[in-house]
Amino acid sequence: MAKINCIGILTSGGDAPGMNAAIRAVTRSAIYNGLEVKGIMRGYRGLIYDEIEPFKTNSVSNIIQQGGTILKTARSKEFQTAEGRQIAYEALQREGIDALVVIGGDGSLTGARIFAQEFNYPIVGLPGTIDNDLQGTDLTIGYDTALNTIMQAVDKIRDTASSHERLFFIEVMGRECGFLALNGAIASGAEAAIIPEMMLQQDQLADLISNGFRKSKNSSLVLVTEGDITGGAMAMAERVKIEYPQYDVRVTILGHVQRGGSPTANDRILASRMGAAAIDALLDGQRNVMIGIQNDEIVYVPFSKAIKKNKPVQQDLLNTLKVLSI
Ligand code: F6P
């Protein structure tokens, strides 16, 4: 196995709070271990357009508390083509970069997996996404911060919901994954979460209404995962207006407010641990794995497993939400 002297680091896909803490940890840990570091701008795009710069210890000073990513990010269409990946590989050779650390979500790690296989190139991934939808890790970097943002927003909406005795559908991010909605609902004491994972099993909206979810309350808050599977908060509200006109319904779509902001202590610590673990993994000969965390222990998860769809939500969370919303 070729010796690693220089690593490249990039962030790709949607930004997530804690990505900067991860960049800092990867950079400092690499330098601590005698490696050279290069920062690649705008995700895989930076490899194709040669936007690569040397990183020193102070390149990552004062960023642990910042949301977003100092490396910028993109969803590169070119990298999805064989020609694009060939150009990227040539850039890595030219720059003397022997291995990559890729911070991103399932799209970014899918790209990493393909590239690693095509060129037999060492890559370690870090799970950076607010969606918490990667398999083999209990948590992803950014998820905890987004959850706290959702909780604070719902706390505020509750004031209006209860003053006006309204039913609110609050749409949160997560693509096909209901973690943000489900845990956001538990954390904010909402009545229910409508999530993709439950969509096929039951008509969650009809269940809520038929259980008389407003009987003992003067207001209700329901978190809904965005996307085609649930149809989103607007679709829920439209249905209620037609089928249950007695309710005074409103919709709030939280949108990109969920992606920004200073990372929580938990996200900073997770990102720092995972960033350091990425360098340990590369030096240890690990290839093409994502760093995960399970039961508070760092684990290595093969890319093929990490990017599998349909990460299961815990049944006890669903039960807890149901029991606590009576
Ligand atoms: O994957 C993170 C995420 O925020 C999803 O929850 C959301 O569906 C998507 O990215 C939005 O992407 P964009 O910022 O490109 O609109």
Single-letter residue type at 42: R
CA angle 47, 9, 294 (to 5 degrees): 130
Indicate whether residue 259 lines ligand 1 (CB < 6 A). Answer: yes
- Rounded Cα distance, 254 and 147, in Å: 12
Which residues in the chain show pLDDT less than 50?
none
**pLDDT at residue number 26:** 98
Q: What is the pLDDT of residue 278?
A: 98
Pocket test of ligand 1: the residue of 19, 73, 131, 132 to mutate, having most ligand atoms within 8 Å of its CB, is: 131
Q: At 100, list the tokens.
A: 């990559």
Q: For 224-261, what is each residue's pLDDT tens digit?
A: 999 999 999 999 999 999 998 989 999 999 999 999 99
Is 130 a pocket residue for ligand 1 (Cβ < 6 Å)? yes
Task: Please give the structure tokens belonging to residue 20.
Answer: 């900067």
Q: Residue 233's CB: how many other CB atoms inside 10 A? A: 25
The predicted pLDDT at position 219 comes to 84
pTM over 0.85: yes
Question: What's the chain look like in SS3?
Answer: CCCCCEEEEEECCCCCCCHHHHHHHHHHHHHHCCCEEEEECCCCHHHHCCCEEEECHHHHCCCCCCCCCCCCCCCCCHHHCHHHHHHHHHHHHHHCCCEEEEEECHHHHHHHHHHHHHHCCCEEEEEECCCCCCCCCCCCECHHHHHHHHHHHHHHHHHHHHHHCCEEEEEECCCCCCHHHHHHHHHHCCCEEECHHHHCCCCHHHHHHHCCCCCCCCCEEEEEECCCCCCHHHHHHHHHHHHCCCCCEEEEECHHHHCCCCCCHHHHHHHHHHHHHHHHHHHCCCCCEEEEEECCEEEEEEHHHHCCCCCCCCHHHHHHHHHHCC
Give the pLDDT of residue 199. Answer: 83
Instruction: Give me the pLDDT at residue 210, please.
Output: 76
The C-alpha atoms of residue 304 and residue 56 are separated, in whole angstroms, by 32
Q: What's the confidence (pLDDT) of residue 200?
A: 74
pLDDT at residue 214, as a whole number: 56
Residue with the smallest CA separation from ligand 1 atom 11 is: 14
Give first-to-last CA distance, the chain, whole Å.
Answer: 59
**Is 105 a pocket residue for ligand 1 (Cβ < 6 Å)?**
yes
Annotated catalytic residue: which of 15, 98, 106, 131?
A: 131
**Is residue 131 annotated as a catalytic residue, yes or no?**
yes
* Cα–ligand 1 centroid distance for 232 (angstroms): 14
Contact 248, 125 (CB under 8 A): no
Bridge partners of residue 128, in order along the sequence: 141
Using the structure block, give the residue that is written with the tokens 């979810």: 213
Q: Is 104 touching ligand 1 by the criterion CB < 6 Å?
A: no
Instruction: Give me the phi and psi of 173, to 5 degrees please.
Output: -80, -175
Question: In the prediction, which pLDDT does 201 show?
Answer: 79
